[in-house]
A and B are shown apart, each in its own frame.
Chain A
Amino acid sequence: MRIALTVNGQRQTVDVDPATPLLYVLSDDLQLRGPKFGCGLGQCGSCTVISSGRAIRSCVTPVNAVAGGDVTTLEGLGTPERPHAIQQAFIDQQAAQCGFCLNGVILTAKAFLDERPDAADADVQRALTGVLCRCFSHTRMLQAIRQYAGGLRRGTAR
């Protein structure tokens, strides 16, 4: 079945079983590397993408559920040469070890803070409870997220 969706601002059409999890379409049909297969059960967050402003888990979202809609992956925020403000914050704070979970951490934090830029630290932490980081880089990640939130409040990040 042909399904159209807008991924990172580009209109795409894929011909797949509509029940195919979005993650497989992004990784195998569109060759994106941002969303990762972690648990495949929607429990770890590494497959997160943003759709309609919300962070969703692409490994348990059938591609049909976002047909005609928009999807933003980590690649869609910025490039190594021109990173998005939240990506720059993670570079500034050196907030990763293996980086496998970064996709989920960055996109979950971005979707949450874009909605609630004044959120308290505790709220940010609560929003990120379902995103697992095996390397234990949490402290630096929270610093990076704080830096991005500060930019949002000052109007220097978007």
Chain B
Amino acid sequence: MAPPADRRDWSRREFLRASGALIVTFGAGAVGGDVLSAQGQFDTRASQVDPGQLDSWIAVNADGRVTAFTGKCELGQGMLTAQTQLVAEELGVPVDRVHLTMCDTEVCPDQGTTSGSQSTPTNFNERNLALAAATAREALVRLGSARLGVPATDLVADNGFVASRADRTKRVAFGDLVAGRKFSLPLDGRAKRRTPDTWTVLGKPVRRLDMPDLVTGRAEYVDNIRVPGMLHGVVVRPPTVGATLMQVDDRSVSGLPGVVKVVRRNNFVGVVAGKPFEAVQAARALKLTWTPGPALPRTRASTTTCASSRRATRWWSIPAMSTRCWGKRPTSSGRRTSIRIRCTARWAALARSPMSKRIKSPCGRRHSPRIRRAAASQCC
């Protein structure tokens, strides 16, 4: 009934400590208004990583390699590559010297959801990652000015160096300027972005940086995430929509390997086990008593039409889908043969994000198992 000892030995915190992850103190309360003025679902917000501080976004290593952090996630949009280009462009370093860490909630700024095509504007426009890179570049130029004894206006940041515009051999590497220290600066809302006419990295084709990992099975997806002490749960769905859970027979799974717990909360029931397939087996074996739930609506076999879908919608009492169609011949003269159809279609947006644990229905769309059961004949 307990997970194997080796999986209990590590807590997440210990794991992070041992793996050298940066633990940032809580300091978000002091963040200035500029960065956090907007609070939509795509916006950057306070977390244990202070988005108002440059060090939360950019780190320049002593060897000149750059690590950048963003709360937006690569999901196949190519964003890892595009935003690595952004940092390289704004900072003035080659693309292959930038490592972008995405969506590690321990070390990256909280940038809300990754959706709605908002992640590029969020990081490319005037705030966030682009502003951080521009702030870092201007800070490096100031440091270079002091080091080289050349006014900042006569310096350029290029190819990982701050160099004199007049004499490019007069230069100092980013790594030497920062020497592994932090910037300890706030984001500067007035830091100047590079203008498109000066771009050398952005706007140029770059191959997807993650492609070699994708094609060789090295990329990590949500399903691959394993942390020490991690358990796996499977939800047991009711056999019909509207069924109520009456009884859970815990003993039906008590002897099964790996089972840790049966969880019941109101009408929700699930099984937790050490390994994923142990949870699947326990979920299958768990004896539950459900009320029958309401009967399925009658469907005329030959006319699974828009109308029946509409009825089904009401019956589910969830806005799953409905279509109302009506057609009419425009004239009775016989000249026009086309039929004009007006159609109102509503479709409940089912997040396609989790690629797993969904079941294909006969219509070819992915529905959750619960909807699939109810929808078998008239889902689309």
Contacts of B277 in A (CB 8 A): 16-17, 20-21, 24, 28
CB of A33 closer than 8 Å to a CB of B: yes
- How many chain A residues touch B (CB < 8 A): the figure is 44
**When chains A and B are docked, how far (Å) is the Cα of A138 from the Cα of B257?**
42
Shortest CB-to-CB span from A88 to chain B, Å, is 8
The reply to whether the CB of A57 lies closer than 8 angstroms to some CB of chain B is no
Contact A80 B212 (CB under 8 A): yes
Judged by a CB distance under 8 angstroms, whether B213 is at the interface is yes
B218 touches A36 (CB 8 A): no
A-facing mask of B39-83, CB < 8 A → 1, else 0?
A: 000000000000000000000000000000000000111100000
The answer to whether B216 and A78 touch across the interface, beta carbons within 8 angstroms, is yes
Whether B211 contacts A44 by the Cβ 8 Å rule is no
CB within 8 Å for A28 and B276 given contacts A40-B357, A90-B215, A94-B211: yes
Q: A115 CB to closest chain B CB, in angstroms?
A: 21
Task: Count chain A CB atoms within 10 A of each CB in B275, B355, B360 and give the residue with the most.
Answer: B355
Give the CA-CA distance A17 to B216 in the complex, in Å.
29
Do the beta carbons of B355 and A100 come within 8 Å of each other? yes
**From B76, B208, B217, B226, contact of A94 by CB (8 A):** B208
Known contacts A28-B276, A33-B220, A83-B216: A43-B76 contact under CB 8 Å: no
Interface size class of B (residues with CB under 8 A): 20 to 34
Q: Are B217 and A74 in contact (CB under 8 A)?
A: yes
A35 to B217, CA, bound (A): 8
A17 and B355 within 8 A (CB): no
Shortest Cβ gap from B226 to chain A (Å): 8
Alpha-carbon distance A121/B257, docked complex (angstroms): 48
Asked if B224 CB lies within 8 Å of chain A CBs, one says yes
- Give bound CA distance, A43 to B216, whole Å: 22
Q: Which residues of A are found within 8 Å of B212, using beta-carbon distances? A: 80-81, 83, 87, 91
Contact of A60 with B by CB under 8 A: no
Cα-based distance from A16 to B181 in the complex (angstroms): 50
Bound-complex Cα distance A109 to B76 (A): 21
Interface residues of A in 68-90 (CB under 8 A from B): 73-75, 77-81, 83, 87, 90
Compute how far the CA of A17 lies from the CA of B281 in the bound complex, rounded to whole angstroms. 10
Asked whether, in the complex, the Cβ of B223 is within 8 Å of the Cβ of A44, the reply is no
Q: Is the CB of A74 within 8 A of B359?
A: no
Residues of B within 8 A of A31 (CB): 226
Query: What residues on A are CB-neighbors of B75 within 8 Å?
Result: 98
CB–CB A41/B215 < 8 A: no
Q: Is the CB–CB distance between B214 and A46 below 8 Å? A: no
Interface string of B195-213 (1 = CB under 8 A from A): 0000000000001101111
Contacts of A78 in B (CB 8 A): 216
Q: How far is the CA of A16 from the CA of B257 in the complex (A)?
A: 10
Complexed CA–CA distance, A101 and B260 (Å): 32
Chain B residue numbers with a CB within 8 Å of A79 are 216, 218
Residue B356 at the A interface, CB < 8 A?
yes
Are the CB atoms of A37 and B223 closer together than 8 Å?
A: yes
A96 touches B215 (CB 8 A): yes
**4 A-B pairs with least C-beta separation:** A98-B76, A34-B217, A74-B217, A99-B214
Interface residues of chain A, those whose CB is within 8 Å of chain B, are 16-17, 20-21, 24, 27-28, 31-41, 43-44, 46, 73-75, 77-81, 83, 87, 90-91, 94, 96-100, 102-103, 106, 134-135
A-B contact pairs, 25 of them (CB 8 A): A21-B277, A24-B277, A27-B223, A28-B277, A33-B219, A33-B224, A34-B216, A35-B217, A38-B356, A39-B360, A40-B356, A40-B357, A41-B360, A80-B213, A81-B212, A83-B215, A94-B208, A96-B215, A97-B78, A99-B214, A99-B215, A100-B221, A102-B215, A106-B215, A134-B355
Chain B positions near chain A (C-beta within 8 angstroms) = 75-78, 207-208, 210-221, 223-224, 226, 257, 275-277, 280-281, 352, 355-360
